[in-house]
Chains A and B, each alone.
Chain A
Amino acid sequence: MKDVKLRKYHSASWDEPLIMEMGTKGERGIIPPKAAKEVVEKLGQAIDLLPAEMRRQKSIGLPEVSQYHVLQHYLRLSQMTLGMDLGSDIGEGTCTMKYSPKMHDQVVNSSKFADLHPSQPQETLQGILEIVYGLEQYLKQISGMSKFTFQPGGGSHATYTNACLIRRYHEARGELAQRDEVITTIFSHPCDGATPATAGFKVITLMPDENGYPDLEALKAIVSERTAGIMFTNPEDTGIFNPKVAEYVKVVHDAGGLCFYDQANANGIMGMARAFDAGFDACHFNLHKTFSSPHGCEGPASGAYGVREELAKYLPVPTVEFDGSKYYLDYDRPESVGKVRSFLGNLECVIRAYAWIRSMGAEGIKTAAQISVLNNNYMDQLLLDIKGVTRPYAEGKRRLEQARYSLGQVMEDTGVGTAEIRNRFSDFGIQGYWMSHHPWIVPEPFTPEPCETYSKEDLDYWAAALAQCVKEAYEDPEFVMNAPHAMANTKILDDSLVEDPDRWACTYRAYKKKILDK
């Protein structure tokens, strides 16, 4: 790594009031259209058109602010938000913060998509249905699965859909009463445990063996005639690919369960390995991760969910079909799990994913995967050179697109933990990193994912910023403990309020009642 010059960054700091504290009585931000004069004359007072007891009595306590000042306020708030377009977001591992092409956003915003109603006659939706159908064909190639739905509105929603499908499958076979257990692994996303639990299953969580893989022997010991299925990732959050994954699948299949591959993040293996070939029955892709749709402050999102031929009949309704000349929606699927979301899902994500794959082609998909793994392995060396940074498990084995590291040693030596270093990190103009899902099996964790979007210079910079934070932790721990220093605001005074009903205030009106008016 060459010498890296760390930026002297400071985030925008507008010291912006809350919108509720802005404006003056009577100011207007926008004026809605009025009904025609003849209509008003014909109908009398509008409010009289409602039952007396259902009329709003008091006007809404919204702010009254002119248009320019509403615009200015939210522009300022946007400037105080470090989107990945601005500050390279290598840190939010498992999330695949990749570049989302601007052209795709412009197409999504065009009237030819934005002004479509989902219940329009199908012959007037042929363009969008063609794109939905097209993306399905591409994802079938990439996964090996036979049929997809784009109804789930996020990755966790796709795993929930899978839990519903497992339920439907065993229900159809008359075995649901008996098969009430779903297995997941601790290094899989928490939703792989939470969503089958919501769907009514008991959940068993496998812990890692000494190499960081889910324990195969433990799996063999827990499967039984009660096993409904397994839901897990590979590579898990650790970035370690489990080479025996097909054996896990076989163990669960032999017990009569279904196997679901959580591929929310498939960025390192798309085009290189497929869920179908490892024996899985179903998988999902987050279109807002691997397939470039932007994350949008946590959505809109899309969890594209695909299954094997035998399970296609259970997918949510409607499916999008093509009869050789026109695209149509098929609601006549009596064995379907029903619906998990209204209409067809977040098709803005579908358009972007379709466009991204069209811009890549087969070679581009493979290149994106390879470069994401190359980037990760390159940065891995830089990070492991930093004093106090370790990478537990599977010594000597390559990680794929991400890796989970530990600052446990730094904590032990200096008392500065990963959360504090994360606070300091953004002072260098890059987004704070993702630590870990709960529980923290790896002490003081952080989990970067330098996907194909990032240049070598970005990777060098990220590692140099971390090295600087760690150096400061050793030299001046107080300084890091009091971070951030270049952000718009400083540390929360007392974060115990999140457990205290007398002090938490989830809205401004609650804040006024509990704090300001006291």
Chain B
Amino acid sequence: MREKAFVHPYIPNSAPEVKAEMMKAVGITDLEELYSEIPEHLRFRGELDLPEPMMAECELRRHLEETLAKNTTCKDYLNFLGGGCWQHYVPAVVDEIVNRAEFVTAYCGGTYADLGKFQARFEFYSMLAEMLDVDAVSEPIYDWGAAAGMSIRMASRLTGRNEVLIPYGISPERMAQIRTLCQPEIMPNSIKITLVDMDHQTGGLDMEDLKAKLSDKIAAVYFEVPAFFGTVEGNAAAISALAKSVGAQSVVGVDPVSLGVIAPPASYGADIICGDLQSIGMHMLCGGGQSGFIAFRDETAYLAECPLAIYTIAETAVEGQYAYAEVLPERTSYEARDKAKDWVGTASGLWTIGAAVYMALMGPQGMEEIGETILYNSNYAKQSMSEIQGVRVLFDTTFKEFVVNFDQTGKTVAEINKALENLKIFGGLDLTADFPALGGSALYCVTETHSKQDIDKLVAALKEVLK
């Protein structure tokens, strides 16, 4: 059979001369011989039905750009969507660093060959620890939901109990992930999930309901600051204290961009802290910028139950020189397989470097200032929207996100959002289906990227739409 010369720029040894030389060295005359171990009945002899290759980079780039041009972005339209993926400013230096070929194309290389990666990662743990006010931070996992689920499972193992209390007002996406990780009751290591009612004034936990549901069977009370509805839980310290009073863990989810103005979770009694790094230096990437973290006190019991890798700084023979090594490695699935604490694997490592650069750039002043700007902008939007006829803003104290109810406008959120879209605005996330108790409500997100003019434009558009 005559072989066509197919030489691809990504495959040096597809060039006929070198290919022939190597085949000769290997002692074959046909590449088919390389597959002699695969029996005929397992061979795929058909033709893959794939489009003709676009081997010219120029041509392929044009195809990709034309396809993606069919999207309308949050730079094309004014965006008020949040709910776990948020539009924040990404400093140019962050982009510069996370696009360095050395970082983009490194993997799990050696301690010495990848020293810079290990140092950047250690700096990430160290700076996030300052934000959270704890001493131990793990390697990243996929996103907040995965981090929350794994944190709850840690709490279950730490306490030997298998029930968790979770607030009613949790993100449905996150709840679905936690439910998967807590698994059906029939499984031997399942964790029973009980929802705690919401205080309808504050949007926080209903403390009476929490007290009623707490018992010595509860492994953890999970809550968030700020919560999915943007509310800032005023009873955080009391919730942690109540959890501890029955021997349960206080597991807290946080949005790190809030930590310049909001108290660090350790200060109100959090035992295990989780959250997402996307807000501190990652583009939205249609949900591809998520990165979960888990943090806790530097106590052996916590480190020993954490499924994710944890590294320590170490000294070398040269004074003042550092190296890095994995702590208690035998507990992770790389070493212990099915006897491990859950599992560990490739997740979102590059984003820890993005977050490190972000925190280093922002410093204490930058984090405080961004927190203040978000408080101002979001509260301004809240006030301005509440002045629109029929529009009601729910809950007292919020950071970045807030719930807006449209029941008295005679229009559904879907109708309003469609009308806003025609005015080049992405309105708030529609909560109607997931939270029937809130009626026709939407979750609006306002960050430091919004100007007063943007908010005024939204308010004017809403007035127009609701006329």
Contact = CB atoms under 8 A, between A and B. Distances in A.
Given A100-B105, A501-B300, A506-B310, A190 B333 contact: yes
A193 interface: yes
Interface in B145-200: 145-146, 153, 171, 173-174, 176-177, 179-181, 183-184, 186-190
B274 interface: no
Interface in A415-463: 422-423, 426, 431-432, 434, 437-438, 452-456
A54 interface: yes
The 10 A-B pairs with the shortest beta carbon distances in the complex, nearest first, are A156-B345, A343-B287, A361-B53, A200-B187, A80-B116, A298-B349, A194-B333, A29-B361, A35-B376, A432-B110
Interface in B69-126: 69-75, 77, 79, 81, 83-85, 87, 89, 91, 93, 95-97, 99-117, 119-123, 125-126
Given A120-B74, A273-B42, 7 more contacts: A54-B233, A54-B262, A190-B334, A190-B340, A194-B343, A378-B25, A438-B334
Contacts of A221: none
Interface string B361-401: 11111111111110111011001000000000000010100
A360 interface: yes
B11 interface: yes
B135 A506 contact: yes
B69 A64 contact: no
B367 A62 contact: yes
B115 A489 contact: yes
B347 A397 contact: no
A92 B333 contact: no
B31 A370 contact: yes
Interface in A233-283: 240-241, 243, 245-246, 269, 271-274, 277-278
A355 interface: yes
B13 A452 contact: yes
Contact of A339 (B65, B173, B184, B188): B173
A28 B50 CA distance: 52
Given A32-B362, A107-B64, A340-B180, A77 B117 contact: yes
B315 to A, nearest CB: 5
Interface string A344-379: 111111010001011111111111101101110110
| Interface-central residue, A126, A128, A278, A299, by most chain B CB under 10 Å | A299
A361 B60 CA distance: 12
Interface stretch (A36-44, A306-314, A473-481): A36-44
Given A30-B366, A153-B347, A119 B312 contact: no
Contact of A374 (B13, B234, B399): B13
A221 B434 CA distance: 48
B270 interface: no
A119 B83 contact: yes
Contacts of A118: 85, 284, 286-287
Contact of B285 (A126, A156, A347, A358): A347
Given A60-B260, A346-B288, A489-B322, A81 B114 contact: yes
A57 B342 CA distance: 36
Interface stretch (B15-23, B208-216, B242-250, B458-466): B15-23
Interface residues of B, number: 217
A345 B101 CA distance: 23
B293 interface: no
A455 B336 CA distance: 36
A176 to B, nearest CB: 5
Contacts of A92: 107-109
Contacts of B380: 35, 39, 42-43
A348 B288 contact: yes
Nearest to A107: B64
Contact of B102 (A30, A32, A83): A83
9 contacts: A18-B126, A29-B360, A33-B373, A38-B452, A75-B100, A76-B116, A194-B338, A300-B289, A509-B135
A170 to B, nearest CB: 10
Interface in B287-339: 287-291, 298-300, 303, 310-318, 321-323, 325-329, 333-339
A408 interface: no
Contact of A154 (B57, B113, B333, B346): B346
Contacts of A359: 8, 10, 53-55, 57, 60
Contacts of B333: 156, 190-191, 193-195
A138 B49 CA distance: 8
A81 B102 contact: yes
A513 to B, nearest CB: 8
A197 B337 CA distance: 9
Contacts of A346: 285, 288, 348
Given A18-B126, A62-B131, A506-B327, A55 B48 contact: no
A141 B145 CA distance: 32
A95 B321 CA distance: 30
